[in-house]
């Protein structure tokens, strides 16, 4: 099974992003757009694991704690690695400092199970599209620049989700296996 850990996106934010994506898809339908129902904030990509490891992963994740909920503000648009050589188009996230700490705690908890730590620095974002070798069409670049400072909504959450990803010809299909609270109950 192919697994990752993520924060779910609120309906209002998802609707704002869906409207943006719809307008951009009209300009460049050949781009590899993410379906709005698949938008999430990845905290840790685990990858392929044996189903027999699932219970241990759940147990390890159940130990992850933070002293307060995470708050996020979705705003701005950008590219990885950069606008001149775009591979990924993303929506930016301004996050409370404990988001980075939460991601590191998840990384540490799963590393004990033999799952490698993430080598790249944690950079919270929502992937909106992936570009192939043809790059970024000029009309799409202009439309993205027009929306670059767009406010997309906010989130306050005290749980993350263990999600299974099944790759299909029609795109990835996600199933939430478990929702895990990370703030201790008072």
Residues 101-120 have pLDDT tens digits of 999 999 999 999 999 999 88
Average pLDDT, the chain: 93
Domain range enclosing 112: 2-181
Domain tally, the chain: 1
Question: What's the pLDDT at 185?
Answer: 65
Residue 40 a catalytic site member: yes
**Has residue 117 been placed in a domain?**
yes
Mark whether 85 is an active-site residue: no
Q: Is residue 186 part of a domain?
A: no
Whether pTM > 0.75 for this model: the answer is yes
- From 14, 44, 125, 161, active-site residue: 125
What span, in angstroms and rounded, lies between the C-alpha atoms of 94 and 67? 19
CATH code assigned at 16: 3.90.1140.10
CB 69 within 8 A of CB 156: yes
> What is the pLDDT confidence band of residue 170, given thresholds at 50, 70 and 90?
confident
CB atoms < 10 A from the CB of 34, how many? 20
Does residue 184 register a pLDDT over 80? no
pLDDT at 169: 87
Percent of the chain with pLDDT over 90: 82
End-to-end alpha carbon distance in the chain:
35
């Amino acid at each position: 099974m192919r697994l990752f850990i993520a924060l779910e996106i609120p309906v209002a934010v998802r609707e704002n992003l869906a409207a943006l994506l719809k307008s951009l898809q009209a300009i460049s339908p050949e781009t590899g757009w993410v379906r709005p129902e698949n938008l999430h904030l990845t905290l840790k990509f685990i990858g392929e694991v044996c189903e027999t490891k699932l219970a241990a992963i759940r147990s390890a994740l159940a130990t992850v704690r933070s002293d307060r909920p995470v708050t996020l503000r979705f705003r701005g648009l950008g590219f990885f690695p950069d606008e001149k050589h775009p591979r990924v188009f993303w929506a930016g996230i301004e996050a409370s400092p404990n988001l980075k700490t939460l991601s590191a705690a998840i990384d540490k908890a799963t590393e004990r199970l033999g799952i490698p730590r993430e080598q790249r620095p944690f950079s919270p974002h929502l992937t909106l599209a992936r570009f192939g070798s043809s790059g970024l069409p000029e009309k799409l670049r202009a439309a993205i620049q027009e929306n670059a400072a767009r406010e997309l909504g906010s989130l306050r959450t005290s749980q993350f989700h263990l999600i299974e990803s099944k790759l299909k010809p029609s795109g990835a299909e996600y199933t939430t296996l478990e929702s895990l609270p990370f703030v201790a109950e008072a």
